[in-house]
Amino acid sequence: MNRTIYVSNKPLDEAKRIWRQALTDHHFFDRSPTEIVRVDDCLGRLTAEPVFAGTSSPSYNAAAMDGIAVHFEDLAGASDSSPVHLPRDRYQLVNTGNALPEGFNAVVMIEDVHQASDTEVELGMPATPWQHVRTIGEDIVATELILPEGHRIRPIDQGAMLATGVTEIMVKRPPKAVVIPTGSELIQPGEPARPGQIIEFNSRILAGYLQEWGADARRAAPLADDPESLRQTILTATRENDIVILNAGASAGTKDFTAQVLADLGRIIVHGVAIKPGKPVILAIVGDTPVIGLPGYPVSAVLTMRLFVREMIAGFLGLEAPAPQIIEATMSRPLHSSMGVDQFVRVTLGNVGDTLMATPSGKGAGAVMSLVRADGLLTIPAGSEGVGAGEKVAIELVRPKVEVDSTLVFIGSHDNILDLIANQLHKQRPIIRISSAHVGSMGGIMAIRRNEAHLAGCHLLDEETGEYNISFLKRFLPSLPLRLINLCYRQQGLIVRKGNPKNIKNFSDIAKGGLVFINRQGGAGTRLLTDKILGEANIKSAEIKGYDHEEYTHMSVAAAVAGGSVDTGMGILAAAKALDLDFIPVAEERYDLIIPERFIANRKVIAVLELMKSNRGFHEEILALGGYNLRDCGKIMYRQ
Amino acid sequence: MNRTIYVSNKPLDEAKRIWRQALTDHHFFDRSPTEIVRVDDCLGRLTAEPVFAGTSSPSYNAAAMDGIAVHFEDLAGASDSSPVHLPRDRYQLVNTGNALPEGFNAVVMIEDVHQASDTEVELGMPATPWQHVRTIGEDIVATELILPEGHRIRPIDQGAMLATGVTEIMVKRPPKAVVIPTGSELIQPGEPARPGQIIEFNSRILAGYLQEWGADARRAAPLADDPESLRQTILTATRENDIVILNAGASAGTKDFTAQVLADLGRIIVHGVAIKPGKPVILAIVGDTPVIGLPGYPVSAVLTMRLFVREMIAGFLGLEAPAPQIIEATMSRPLHSSMGVDQFVRVTLGNVGDTLMATPSGKGAGAVMSLVRADGLLTIPAGSEGVGAGEKVAIELVRPKVEVDSTLVFIGSHDNILDLIANQLHKQRPIIRISSAHVGSMGGIMAIRRNEAHLAGCHLLDEETGEYNISFLKRFLPSLPLRLINLCYRQQGLIVRKGNPKNIKNFSDIAKGGLVFINRQGGAGTRLLTDKILGEANIKSAEIKGYDHEEYTHMSVAAAVAGGSVDTGMGILAAAKALDLDFIPVAEERYDLIIPERFIANRKVIAVLELMKSNRGFHEEILALGGYNLRDCGKIMYRQ
């Protein structure tokens, strides 16, 4: 196997230091290119030199009010009881902004002027010299500093420059960056993807962030895996750009020629950093141009680019690297991490009571949605083995704090209605966001117990009483005042491929036919239901192939069936219907929300309850999913 | 005088309520126009409906590692001591992202594969089902909610949509807004301005802010003051836009036809609000389109638009009005305000010791620079007569807090070197900003005493001792540990017009010739110097015409001379030189910085001191201004 490239494992700090040194050696931060732009076009740009006023503003003595221009000396001693009369040649009508006529030295407001006759005005107050006159340079005097170097231009700054006759200025030219997607497996969005083909969307994400960080970024056409065209493209790109981003080709797969090509063309500064995700990143210099080879997975690529490229752009523009906004939160569940590796974990955040809880928003370097959902990033440093549940952690916010504060934290059993609730709440003003972690019904109860969630979804059948949820609350949340409010009744059943090709009717068919099943995780209500049905049918778990293969949501089970990796799994009708699968009904079950009493008056919880009770359009949306009955939706089933 | 338009004085809250009601009645907030855009072009846009995944991602079972695809069953019982050998047809080489070949159900990482022969691999570990496989829908399952309605799209969101085959989405169309400048006196930037002409820069400022607040804003060509063309333009504009902004024509000057035209075309909802600045604002509806007539002064126009239009744009887009960022500060000097009027004051902010001090950044509705310099806005409510010095006030930030924190507060005598220091510090990383208030030398000493400034500039000559500054410090800051550090020696003299047309040699010439003088304010070192010279020459202040007309900076004095409103004034050579005026030297004086000992270790103060001592380029810049001597620059003249 021809896989000889050695990927090192440099500590992050060291990698950053070496990289910064290499960039400095190649004068990356000294280039400071500039360009002349019209002030009309300079909004948001950075000044490359201080801007001084060209002329004074105002550039003439100007009336500051609508009224008449006078000689202040004429009004000496004027009062209501002994007003002064001015003949036509001793006053002149002026509007705000008019030049003060030659020889005049004050303005009287129109409100204070009485027209005594066609040729005379009467004034009942004296005037002070230059009253209601904007004198030359009152706002800005020619040569005065308007904007310092390195200032980001706002609309008002444009006004100040134009007001003093400055119409062109020198601004910093942002670094030109290009993102080159590589890989023969790439297809364009909208093209149908065959197995093994990957929609090329990374370059859009990467170019978008580069632009946001201040670069002038563009995307190149995807390159097939071919060393020679890679070589040519990199050479041309490094001549035309200040920063070249390759994605992917950073790891050591058989078709990853990138490192070899970069080593031939220039110098590899770092290949492999002790971070997760993002380990195989390549930092290289070709000519004097930095070339960054990012890993192929979108999350790895984004996080790695954030670590190494964001501060390059700031440095190029002479700006400070943006200070991360750090916030303290409490970890809702334990997280393991490898010693020696800086691990970056995406988390959602939510204020539950007085505690800001952090929950991982998903794992896997390919999980784009984990970044879409993320409110923040947790770094588990190389020296740590992980974080315990309830531990305080420092989170770097990637979403404004005000949005985090408006988050309702839902932890518990998964149901498709949650997506609908999330969307409805997001449309409200002020916005309410839902952060939902699908950890099963028991996981939800435990989250409520640990004060980690505002509410939990639960559908736990007590085999002895035949009742849902209540006995579990009494057992696990005995002293907590709470309400149990019904969300829905829903069909549970076996999800099978369209047309039910394996002709599955029940679990016996699965066991006898040696069919592949996919299970839900322990603590899930659906898992309890599965086990109850297996018990009633006297089938041992060992007889079910795939019993140990667990998924966390109904949709994941349905997706596994749709993808053909399994034959069937237990789930709700809505999930089967969403993916156009068939469904063998097994039971109707009750799905309730657990709400601690102290959150009942919470604005976000109230919004959910009102939505459940009163919103007809919302009920129709739910029923359209299929398999739901809303006869008790919003009803209090139990309180303690 | 044909000025019959009645401008009312509605309380701000009432005006806002009436305006919002009128907009609601005309369905302004219900229009919610949408448009379809390509996901590639949707960055920063707002979703107009929820976005659901089109396909699952991954859309096939994919290798998550470089390695080999295997049947996990084949590796049962494998260990280092008893490895399993797989023949060529029981494994397949896969790269990350490859489709898992049909029938295979796990991946073994390449690091764990030993190539035993050309046709056989050796494996020393068992595998679990689906290990290192990204199963279908692992990241996103088709039909899953990706983005709720009303979500602002980020790069990662684009990635998530493209990953699931969504290539076009429906987004909200921003409101179309047009800014129409009106006034026959307007000229374009770059054209030479004759007295009475005004450079048309307001529309750039206004359109810039409209854009920043989310509108699709453009500028129309300026209109001359002519009712018929105004009528036609407004009619067309209201048909083509969602928001029409007129600037100016809101007040009651002779040429302000706007209100009359709007009353003819539609309905004036509000004309005149009890705010300062901004009182004459017009809020009208033509057809169903809101038309806002803003006052002509740039600061009035910006602040008024901020009050009424920003939340219109948010409402049109279905967003909440942006929450102002409020911070508590201490007022550095008293501010008077009229009862019955909400007054908006631009302030600069600076952290001095533990106190955040607010200082007005300039006054006058025409003072664009007061907004350029502003860090925040103070509202003095209608029920208040003003704010006392040292009073706590709530300030709405208009600049990020981090920038405010990096501000060095300078209060005291004015010198042109301060602009150079400000620019040099702004170039540093991290940035240091200077907030400088020019209140004269005594004002600076008092600001230090009240703990309002990090440092103060001072040039007070003690007539008895002939010494600068020290006796004043002993008298007014007797118990404060401080250092007095020299900044420069500088030429003071009489600033006269180019060529000295009135042939001024000294103050006697001014008194005898009846020439017009402009003075500096009480407490200014230059004022003390003026009074000393007058006393020595035995000239009474009443003999000097304009003795009572006070300005606050050297540059304002120079500008008054340049503008011809006065014949001469005392100031520094640098100010005369900047405006190409002539200068009659009167005295060299010493200008020092007062720095309380407790700020000596402050990072910002250190930066100033280092700049003074060591920066050769900086010294050259100063000397180029003219009239400066730096023989003691940075030297400690006194400490206590």
CA separation for the pair B159, B148 (Å, rounded)? 15
Chain B CB contacts of A56 under 8 Å are 559, 562-563, 579
- What pLDDT shows up at residue A327? 95
CA separation for the pair B215, B229 (Å, rounded)? 26
Tally of residues, chain A? 640
Global pTM? 0.89
**Among candidates A212, A236, A344, A338, which has minimal Cα distance to A286?**
A236
If you write DSSP's letter for every residue of A449-517 in order, what string do you get?
HTT--SBEEE--B-TTT--BSHHHHHHHSTT--EEEEEEEEEEEEEEE-TT-TT---SHHHHHHHTPBE
Asked if A138 lies within 8 A of B189 by C-beta distance, the reply is no
The pLDDT tens digits of the residues spanning A386-396 come to 998 889 999 99
CA separation for the pair B25, A554 (Å, rounded)? 46
Residue A130, chain B, CB below 8 Å: the answer is yes
Among chain B residues, CA nearest to A415: B144
- What pLDDT shows up at residue B254? 56
For the segment A65-77, the average pLDDT, to the nearest whole number, is 90
Of A95, A148, A427, the CB nearest to B150: A427
Omega within 30 of 0 (cis) for the link into B277: yes
For the segment A117-133, the average pLDDT, to the nearest whole number, is 89
Q: What is the dihedral of CA B469, B472, B477, B478, to 10 degrees?
A: 110
The region that residue A65 occupies, defined by phi over 0 for left and psi between -120 and 50 for alpha, beta otherwise, is beta
Q: Picking from A551-555, B5-9, B198-202, B539-543, which range would have the lowest pLDDT averaged per residue? A: B5-9
* C-beta of residue B169 within 8 angstroms of C-beta of residue B37: yes
* C-beta of residue A510 within 8 angstroms of C-beta of residue A546: no
User: Comparing B428 with A167, which gets the higher pLDDT?
Assistant: A167
If you write DSSP's letter for every residue of B234-273 in order, what string do you get?
HHHHHHH-SEEEEES--S-STT--HHHHHHHHSEEEEE-B
Mean pLDDT for chain A overall: 90
CA separation for the pair B312, B29 (Å, rounded)? 8
Chain B CB contacts of A98 under 8 Å are 185, 196
Of A56, A298, A423, the CB nearest to B50: A423
The two tokens of residue A474 are 């009494």
- What pLDDT shows up at residue A589? 92
Instruction: Report phi then psi at A246, rounded to 5.
Output: -105, 135
- What pLDDT shows up at residue A472? 95
For the segment B316-320, the average pLDDT, to the nearest whole number, is 91
Omega within 30 of 0 (cis) for the link into A381: no
Residue B254, chain A, CB below 8 Å: the answer is yes
Integer-rounded Cα radius of gyration of chain A: 35
Sequence-distant (6+) residues with CB within 8 A of B571 are B492, B493, B495, B526, B554, B557, B558
Asked if A141 lies within 8 A of B212 by C-beta distance, the reply is no
Percent of chain A clearing pLDDT 70 (strictly above): 97
Tally of residues, chain B? 640
Mean pLDDT for chain B overall: 90
The two tokens of residue A555 are 């949709």
* C-beta of residue B471 within 8 angstroms of C-beta of residue B428: no
Report whether pLDDT(A136) > 90. Answer: no
Report whether pLDDT(B2) > 60. Answer: no
The region that residue B287 occupies, defined by phi over 0 for left and psi between -120 and 50 for alpha, beta otherwise, is left
User: Comparing B36 with B102, which gets the higher pLDDT?
Assistant: B36
CA separation for the pair B358, B492 (Å, rounded)? 31
For the segment B21-35, the average pLDDT, to the nearest whole number, is 96
Sequence-distant (6+) residues with CB within 8 A of B446 are B476
Tell me the ipTM for this assembly: 0.89
Chain B CB contacts of A185 under 8 Å are 97-98
* C-beta of residue A35 within 8 angstroms of C-beta of residue A170: yes
First and final C-alpha spacing in chain A: 65
Sequence-distant (6+) residues with CB within 8 A of B228 are none
Percent of chain B clearing pLDDT 70 (strictly above): 97
- What pLDDT shows up at residue B281? 93
Three-state DSSP state, B31: coil
- Identify the H or E element spanning A106: strand A106-109
From-to residues of CATH 3.90.105.10 in chain A:
34-58+138-172
- Identify the H or E element spanning A372: helix A368-373
The pLDDT tens digits of the residues spanning B474-519 come to 999 999 999 999 999 999 999 999 999 999 999 999 999 989 999 9
From-to residues of CATH 2.40.340.10 in chain A:
326-397
The region that residue B466 occupies, defined by phi over 0 for left and psi between -120 and 50 for alpha, beta otherwise, is left
Report whether pLDDT(B592) > 90. Answer: yes
- What pLDDT shows up at residue A209? 97
Beta bridge partners of A180: A246
The residue whose two tokens read 């009955």 is: A629
User: CA-CA distances (angstroms) from residue B155 to A368, B39, B163?
Assistant: 11, 10, 12
From-to residues of CATH 2.40.340.10 in chain B:
326-398
From-to residues of CATH 2.170.190.11 in chain B:
62-134
CA separation for the pair A186, A180 (Å, rounded)? 12
For the segment A142-153, the average pLDDT, to the nearest whole number, is 90
Residue B187, chain A, CB below 8 Å: the answer is no
* C-beta of residue A373 within 8 angstroms of C-beta of residue A307: no
Of A146, A251, A302, the CB nearest to B156: A302
* Predicted confidence band of residue B251 (pLDDT cuts 50, 70, 90): low
Instruction: Report phi then psi at A456, rounded to 5.
Output: -135, 145
- What pLDDT shows up at residue B10? 94
From-to residues of CATH 3.40.190.290 in chain B:
417-639
The pLDDT tens digits of the residues spanning A105-120 come to 899 998 899 988 888 9
Chain B CB contacts of A159 under 8 Å are 201-202, 204-205, 298, 368
**Minimal CA separation from B92 to chain A, in Å:** 12
The two tokens of residue A88 are 């036509």
Q: Apex CA B197: angle with CA B192 and CA B201, to 5°?
A: 80
Asked if B559 lies within 8 A of A129 by C-beta distance, the reply is no
- 3-class SS letters over A424-460: HHHHCCCCCEEEEEECHHHHHHHHHHCCCCCEEEECC
Chain A CB contacts of B1 under 8 Å are 93, 110, 113, 115
- What pLDDT shows up at residue B553? 81
**Among candidates B43, B44, B52, which has minimal Cα distance to B147?**
B52
Report whether pLDDT(A560) > 50. Answer: yes
Instruction: Name the fold adopted by A62-134.
Output: Molybdopterin biosynthesis moeA protein; domain 3 (2.170.190)
Of A212, A372, A431, the CB nearest to B160: A372
* C-beta of residue A189 within 8 angstroms of C-beta of residue A199: yes
Residue B126, chain A, CB below 8 Å: the answer is no
Sequence-distant (6+) residues with CB within 8 A of B342 are B11, B12, B274, B275, B276, B379, B380, B381, B382
Segments in B397-469 forming alpha helices (H): 401-405, 417-427, 440-449
Strands (E), B371-417: 376-380, 386-387, 392-397, 407-412
Spell B133-154 as b/e; 16+ CB within 10 A means b: bbbbbbbbbbbbbbbbbbbbbb
- CATH of the domain spanning A418-639: 3.40.190.290
For the segment A407-424, the average pLDDT, to the nearest whole number, is 88
The two tokens of residue B591 are 């200008």
CA separation for the pair B417, B622 (Å, rounded)? 6
Q: Picking from A398-402, A566-570, B188-192, B437-441, which range would have the lowest pLDDT averaged per residue? A: B437-441
From-to residues of CATH 3.40.980.10 in chain B:
12-30+175-316
CA separation for the pair B101, B60 (Å, rounded)? 10
If you write DSSP's letter for every residue of B168-214 in order, what string do you get?
EEEEEPPPEEEEEEB-TTEE-TTSPPPTT-EE--HHHHHHHHHHHTT
- What pLDDT shows up at residue B253? 58
Q: Which CATH architecture has domain A34-58+138-172?
A: Alpha-Beta Complex (3.90)
Instruction: Name the fold adopted by B326-398.
Output: Beta-clip (2.40.340)
Let me know if domain B417-639 sits in CATH 3.40.50.1980.
no
Asked if A160 lies within 8 A of B562 by C-beta distance, the reply is no
Q: Picking from A248-252, A275-279, B493-497, B586-590, which range would have the lowest pLDDT averaged per residue? A: A248-252
Report whether pLDDT(B418) > 60. Answer: yes
If you write DSSP's letter for every residue of A582-637 in order, what string do you get?
EEEEEEEEEEEEEEEGGGTT-HHHHHHHHHHHH-HHHHHHHHHHSSEE-TTTT-EE
Integer-rounded Cα radius of gyration of chain B: 35
- What pLDDT shows up at residue A21? 97
CA separation for the pair A296, B162 (Å, rounded)? 16
Among chain A residues, CA nearest to B47: A427
Let me know if domain A326-397 sits in CATH 1.25.40.10.
no
CA separation for the pair B44, A363 (Å, rounded)? 26
From-to residues of CATH 3.40.190.290 in chain A:
418-639
Which of B:524-563 have CB within 8 Å of A?
546, 548-549, 553, 555-556, 558-560, 562-563
Residue A287, chain B, CB below 8 Å: the answer is no
CA separation for the pair A156, A178 (Å, rounded)? 33
Among chain B residues, CA nearest to A434: B148
Sequence-distant (6+) residues with CB within 8 A of A580 are A498, A562
- Identify the H or E element spanning A276: strand A275-276
CA separation for the pair B15, B284 (Å, rounded)? 12
Percent of chain A clearing pLDDT 90 (strictly above): 61
Three-state DSSP state, A321: coil
* Interface size, chain A vs chain B, as Cβ–Cβ contacts under 8 Å: 350
User: Comparing B436 with B92, which gets the higher pLDDT?
Assistant: B92
**Minimal CA separation from B157 to chain A, in Å:** 6
- What pLDDT shows up at residue A392? 94
For the segment B177-198, the average pLDDT, to the nearest whole number, is 89
Among chain B residues, CA nearest to A416: B144
Beta bridge partners of B595: B483
Report whether pLDDT(A364) > 80. Answer: no
* Predicted confidence band of residue B1 (pLDDT cuts 50, 70, 90): very low
Q: Apex CA B123: angle with CA B118 and CA B125, to 5°?
A: 170
User: Comparing B316 with B334, which gets the higher pLDDT?
Assistant: B316
The CATH superfamily of B12-30+175-316 is MoaB/Mog-like domain (3.40.980.10)
Residue A120, chain B, CB below 8 Å: the answer is no
Q: What is the dihedral of CA A227, A233, A239, A244, to 10 degrees?
A: -90
Asked if B563 lies within 8 A of A201 by C-beta distance, the reply is no
Distance of CA B602 to the CA centre of its chain: 25
Report whether pLDDT(B456) > 90. Answer: yes
The pLDDT tens digits of the residues spanning A507-529 come to 999 999 989 999 998 888 899 89
